[in-house]
Amino acid sequence: MGSLPSSSRPSENFLCNYHICVVFCPREPTSSGCVTNWIELFNPSINTWTDVGSIPGLMDDQVLKGFSMVFLRDSIYIIGGQVCHKERVHVSDDIADWVDVGVQVVPTVLRYDFQSSQWSSCAPLGVARYDFACTVCEDKIYVAGGKSMLASARGISSAEVYDPNTDTWTTLPNLRILRYKCVGVTWQGKVHVIGGFAEREDSDRTVPSLVERSSGEVYNTKEEKWDLKVGMWQLDVPPNQIVEVNETLLSSGDCLNAWKGQVEAFDGKLWNEVDGSRKQSLSTLEANQRLYLTMAPIRSELYFLAGYGTVGGQEAGRTTSVVHIFDTSATGDAWRSFEPMEVEGERELCGHCCVVQLS
């Protein structure tokens, strides 16, 4: 489809204000049984990670998954999610693995202020939820869909909006379709909820229709309703992430395969491959060694934060952290990568990252 609308490459001085916030947890409990989440900031101007600390309110053997994290007014907000603990299960006679077992779906909303380096509790969600859509629009936080009960077979249609000025959540009209693992993104000044495992509330189908799963919904502020948009996603599997860059929606994969081999852009009707974005592997390491992948937009660039496990040898049980950058405005070679870094222990991603702008 060609290059996207151009914007100059961020300078190092410009990038110094931007960081990427990520929440990790160990793939398996430590010797003391600890699995708690921790937060790190990646500084793209100098390729360094800084530890922010742990998410408060969790026990040492608990981890938060399925939450949403957004940045608004010098703070990150950790919204909702599912509290889990790790259990070791046997996948075969001689192979065992650790899995997340849900304990509770929570409505909690936590705020971390980067200016004061302090955590505080905000007004809770009206409906506890996890695996939901979330986005910031006009200085307010919108959430929609998700699941409200452990091991539920269906999503929910509930939606609400948070006003940081009054620390209140206001109920919005329901989505037109039940959805979970849907993606929230602000595009063209409007809140969009895209894809997900979706079905109509009155559906008696054993297998939900692809029409629902490939649809999106846009919040109509004037009429205070959700408008259904057919064909905003073209796969039966929900999107992994969708971000906006220079007024264009971009995606790189689905929730089963975070990297499909290229970046794709939505032209209002179809998703098309972005010229120069094809990259079979995001590292010289094998894809089946990848522990996590998440992406974040900064100006015209997409940052892909990947972690790879080490198989066998003396370095087993470590994670190689690699950051790859795709410049959407480049006309030549659009990819570059930072030097890989080794970190102790195998880590996993607990939720998608967000971009933080520090003054």
Q: What is the pLDDT of residue 6?
A: 38
CB 95 within 8 A of CB 122: no
Q: For residues 67 and 38, what is the distance between their CA atoms, to the nearest angstrom? A: 14
Please, what is the Cα angle at 311 between 35 and 50, to 5 degrees?
45
Going along the chain from its start, the domains and CATH numbers come out as: 12-357 (2.120.10.80)
- Residue 226 β-bridge partners: 219
Q: What b/e readout covers 92-105, taking b as 16+ CB neighbours within 10 angstroms? A: eeeeeeeebebeeb
Tokens of 85: 């603990």
CB 236 within 8 A of CB 212: no
Q: For residues 23 and 351, what is the distance between their CA atoms, to the nearest angstrom? A: 6
Instruction: Please report where in the chains the tokens 């922010």 appear, as a residue.
Output: 52
pTM of the shown model = 0.91
Q: What is the pLDDT of residue 60?
A: 86
Reading the chain (359 residues) residue by residue, the pLDDT tens digits are: 444 443 334 444 545 789 999 999 988 887 776 778 999 999 999 999 999 999 999 988 899 999 999 999 999 999 999 999 988 887 666 776 788 898 999 999 999 999 999 999 999 999 999 999 999 999 999 999 999 999 888 999 999 999 999 999 999 999 999 999 999 999 999 999 999 998 888 766 555 567 788 899 999 988 999 999 999 998 889 999 999 999 999 999 999 999 999 999 999 999 999 999 998 777 655 656 888 999 999 999 999 999 998 755 455 578 989 999 999 999 888 999 999 998 888 899 999 999 999 87
- Closest by CA to 128, choosing from 111, 103, 149, 110, is 149
- Closest by CA to 308, choosing from 261, 246, 258, is 258
Query: Could you tell me which residues come within 8 angstroms of residue 312 by beta carbon, excluding any fewer than 6 positions away?
Result: none
Q: What is the pLDDT of residue 23?
A: 97
Please, what is the Cα angle at 142 between 136 and 146, to 5 degrees?
125
Q: What is the pLDDT of residue 280?
A: 78
CB 23 within 8 A of CB 351: yes
Q: What is the pLDDT of residue 9?
A: 42
Q: How many CB atoms lie within 10 A of CB 206?
A: 5
